[in-house]
Homo-oligomer: A and B are copies of this chain.
Amino acid sequence: MREHISVQYDQELESIRAQLIEMAGIVERQLEQAGQALLRQSSEPADAVIAADAEVNRLEVTIDDLCSHVIVRRQPTASDLRFILVTIKSITDLERIGDECSRIAKMALDLAIRAPISTRFPEFEEIQKTVEGMLRDVLRALFRVDTEMAAEVIARDKGVDRTYKTLVARITAEMEQQPGDLRSLLDLLWCARSLERIGDHAKNVGEYVIYLSHGYDIRHQPLEAKQREALGASHDD
**Which residue numbers of A lie inside 8 Å of B, CB to CB?**
54, 57-58, 60-61, 64-65, 68, 71-72, 75, 78, 81-82, 85, 88-89, 92, 172, 175-176, 179, 182-183, 186, 189, 216-217, 219-220
Contacts and interface: CB of A to CB of B under 8 A. Distances in A.
Contacts of A217: 61, 64-65
A44 B215 CA distance: 39
Nearest to A84: B71
B92 A71 contact: no
A193 to B, nearest CB: 8
Contact of A172 (B64, B88, B182, B216): B182
Give the dominant DSSP class at A's interface.
Answer: helix
Contacts of A68: 81-82, 85
A82 B82 CA distance: 17
A163 to B, nearest CB: 18
6 contacts: A61-B217, A61-B220, A64-B217, A68-B82, A88-B89, A175-B175
A51 to B, nearest CB: 15
Copies of this chain, tallied across the complex = 2
Contacts of A65: 216-217
A174 to B, nearest CB: 11
Contacts of A72: 78, 81
Nearest to A65: B217
Given A65-B217, A72-B78, A88-B88, 15 more contacts: A54-B220, A57-B220, A61-B219, A61-B220, A68-B81, A72-B81, A75-B75, A85-B88, A89-B92, A172-B182, A172-B183, A172-B186, A175-B175, A179-B179, A186-B189
B172 A176 contact: no
Contact of A219 (B60, B189, B216, B219): B60
Nearest to A175: B182
